[in-house]
Amino acid sequence: MDRGFILKEYGRTKIYEIPSFNQTGLVSHGFTTRVGGVGGKPYDTLNLAFHVGDSPEVVINNRQIVCHILGAKTDNIVSARQVHGADIAVVDHRHAGCGALAGDTAIPNTDGLITDRPGLLLATFYADCVPIFILDPLNKVIGSVHAGWKGTAARIGAKAVKIMEETYGSDPGQCLVGIGPSIGPCCYEVDRPVIEAFQSEFGWWPDILLPAGNEKARLDLWTANLKIMVEAGIDPDNVELARICSCCNQHIFFSYRGSHGKTGRMGAFLMLKP
Ligand SMILES: [Zn+2]
């Protein structure tokens, strides 16, 4: 546990990777930073999402940079229109290219993607929310989940594990998990509705809500998602937790909160090698 992500450099482009995922030899993956793309302010430079107001040509160019590094085809990107919900799609080659070259072709109303098909590049996008990577190395199944506070409160990571069990016979005890860079408890102050949502859902809420005065708290989404995954049957020794705050490190990450909403998106990419 807590062995962390490692920062790799490919030319000018910097990407975080999960050592245990690399050790399997089964997947290409990474959590991108804002470093090493071609975009201008406020999306400088490696914005990977179409919906934030950046030039579509820049986004496509940036996706090509990342796909080249990962050995993936841009035509095989599968992405979703994320809505901070808890719906997850099991995808196959019929979904190849969804959202690859334009936002309006993405799978609607979905915050998690699962597949057992090699060559499909699962892509989800982030500016402070938590990226969760899941790999079942025995059955060769992958899952990628976008967990903001709403998705976390809805246990979207555990939901993905359950779908992998039911659809592919995955054993949670054998799965590897990475919980990536995202806004940390240092910066994520929340108010009463968020506090109450976590207090009503999780008996261990004192571990993740740190009192901040004025009826506010600082929310630890890293520990919350770790606990949720362990409750879902994941071995804590199989979890790698980045513990890197996107808001504290805006020289390398886009941060929605840190930029007051006007910024780009990092990508969490995960693909079974073809
Ligand atoms: Zn921080």
Ligand 1 centroid to Cα of residue 201, in Å, is 25
**Ligand 1 center–CA 101 separation, angstroms:** 32
Confidence at residue 1, expressed as pLDDT on a 0 to 100 scale: 46
* pLDDT tens digits, one per residue of 114-173: 999 999 999 999 999 999 999 999 999 999 999 999 999 999 999 999 999 999 999 999
Ligand 1 centroid to Cα of residue 247, in Å, is 5
Mean pLDDT per 10-residue interval, the chain, length 274 residues: 84 98 98 98 98 97 98 98 97 98 97 98 98 98 98 98 98 98 98 98 98 95 98 97 98 97 97 97
How confident is the model at residue 2, as a pLDDT?
A: 52
The DSSP code sequence of the chain is -----EEEEETTEEEEE-HHHHHHSSEEEEEE-SSS----TTSTTT---STTSS-HHHHHHHHHHHHHHHT--GGGEEEB---SS--EEE--GGGTTTTTS-GGGSBSS-SEEEE--TT-EEEEEESSSEEEEEEETTTTEEEEEEE-HHHHHTTHHHHHHHHHHHHH---GGG-EEEE--B--TTT-EE-HHHHHHHHHH-TTGGGTEEEEETTEEEE-HHHHHHHHHHHTT--GGGEEE---BTTTTTTTS--TTTTTT----EEEEEEE--
Rounded to the nearest whole angstrom, what is the distance from the C-alpha of residue 244 to the centroid of ligand 1? 8
If you measure from the C-alpha of residue 249 to the centroid of ligand 1, how many angstroms do you get, rounded to a whole number?
Answer: 7
| Residue boundaries of the structural domains of the chain | 6-182+235-272
Question: Residue 244: CB partners within 8 Å, gap ≥ 6?
Answer: 5, 16, 180, 181, 184
**Between 3.30.1370.140, 1.10.260.40, 3.30.470.10, 3.60.140.10, what CATH number should domain 6-182+235-272 receive?**
3.60.140.10
* Residue 119 Cα to ligand 1 middle (Å): 35
pLDDT in tens, 29-41: 999 999 999 999 9
